[in-house]
Amino acid sequence: MNEVIDKDNKTIEDMIYEIRGKQVMLDSDLAKLYCVETKRINEAVKNNLDKFPVRFSWFLTDNEWVFLRSKISTLEGNLLGKGHHRKYLPRVFTEQGIAMLATIIKSKIAIQTSINIMDAFVAMRHYIGNSELRITNLETKVIEHDSNIKLLQESFDKLEENKEINEIYFNGKIYDAYSKVLDIFSNAKKELIIIDRYADKTILDMIKKLNCKIILITSRNSKLTDLDIKKYNSSYHNLTIYYDDTYHDRYFILDKEIIYHSGNSINHIGYRKSSINTLNDISVKKSIIEDIDKIIKR
């Protein structure tokens, strides 16, 4: 079915594995298909972290990599072969992540390869049949143009709408937690309110690319200095600071409609066991928003 194969005659379908209940591809396999080095794939993600939330791409854990290596070894009939011994754990990409990657690695071969990869994912879903992973009546029709890749990405984004976040981040999963917070912030359309009394410059790095008004409620004793704020607003002009010590917990409030509660401050997110949850109690949400209005009007 595919014209694009690697030097060992392994088809794209053979490069698709199931991890965490999702079909994914390895960074090294994508690098082969795009005719680039694996490090270029990871550099592209590193330079565009806000475009790759954890549901699009993540680093495998030690156990996942051991499991996958054994699976690859079984499929290929040998002990993985040359090039499979890596210094770092590999990154994997879901179908949505690959569609996003295609908008960054722009070349004629990348566009055509991305088309073939999307076709392979669709073929895999048909092969699986009526499993829960199948997306019914999804047809992929892409031509050699970046705008079509964007349309494909938007169709997958719609599948993720209204998904409630209630996830626990364990010790060491700093990148996963950081990516999830970025993903939450990016959903604010007009206004994002952050309540974090231990704020530091980490927050400034996270909000600088947001196209909305930012309100930060923090403590005078936080690690964020007046000079930090002045320098930031000289370039980005979207941040207003209010000082208040009454809040111990951390909250992210999107357009005064959706409220997330975070167990940890942003500068420590992912270091220890903590969770990020949506608040659904209407009376609690109303109380928090009314209290914030009083702080802003002081």
Q: What is the pLDDT of residues 79-130, one digit of tens each?
A: 344 345 567 889 999 988 888 888 888 766 766 777 778 777 776 665 544 4
Q: Which two tokens stand for residue 126?
A: 């048909």
Distance CA 33, CA 2 (A): 12
Q: Residue 77: its pLDDT value, please?
A: 41
The yes-or-no verdict on residue 167 having pLDDT over 50 is no
**Helix residue spans in the chain (DSSP H):** 27-34, 38-46, 62-76, 95-102, 108-128, 146-159, 174-185, 201-207, 226-235, 282-297
Distance CA 156, CA 96 (A): 6
The pTM for the full model equals 0.45
- 252 has which bridge partners? 194, 260
When pLDDT is averaged across residues 186-208 and rounded to a whole number, the result is 91
**Is 70 a residue whose pLDDT tops 90?**
no
Q: 215 forms bridges with which residues in the sheet?
A: 193, 240
For residues 277 and 261, the answer to whether their CB atoms sit within 8 Å is yes
Least confident interval from 67-71, 132-136, 177-181, 200-204? 132-136
| Count of CA atoms in the C-beta half-sphere (13 A) of 217 | 24
Spatial distance between the Cα atoms of 238 and 184, rounded to a whole number of angstroms: 18
CA angle (45, 51, 55) in 5-degree steps:
90
User: Phi and psi of 195, rounded to 5°?
Assistant: -110, 110
pLDDT band for position 146 (cuts 50, 70, 90): very low
User: If pLDDT is split at 50, 70 and 90, which confidence band does 131 have?
Assistant: very low
Is pLDDT of 43 > 80?
Answer: yes
Residue-range domains of the chain with CATH: 12-159 (no CATH), 166-297 (3.30.870.10)
Percentage of the chain modeled with pLDDT above 70: 70
Give the range with max mean pLDDT: 106-110, 146-150, 213-217, 248-252: 213-217
Residue-wise pLDDT for 240-279, tens only, equals 999 998 888 889 999 999 998 888 788 777 666 667 888 8
